[in-house]
Amino acid sequence: MRTSLNEIKLIDGHLFNQGTHEDALLFDAMLIINPGLSNQIVWQKKTHTIVQQYGRKKLKAEIEEVHHKLFNKPGHQSFRQKILSLFSKR
């Protein structure tokens, strides 16, 4: 069964505590009526986790790239010396 965009939006609202108290009650009723919905919640949580991990990994790679450029390229030697002087023992 293909999940509709409306179901995805409802599940996201539930996962991120968005919406009103009435929305939460309606969602709880939907869980009772549709037992497959709880399975969709599990998979949506896993999807959010994977996307978050991917974003962190990508950001870390970008930071490493900037670090490499700033501390290993000859054109940034004065910057490197200024930074290292801030952390040197005096």
Distance (Å, whole) CA 46 – CA 48: 5
Q: Where are the domains of the chain?
A: 5-87
What pLDDT does 2 receive? 62
The 10s digit of each residue's pLDDT in 42-60 is 999 999 999 999 999 999 9
In this predicted structure, the answer to whether residue 83 has a pLDDT above a threshold of 90 is no
Q: How many CA atoms lie within 13 A of 83 on its CB side?
A: 8
Is the model's pTM score more than 0.75? no
What pLDDT does 3 receive? 64
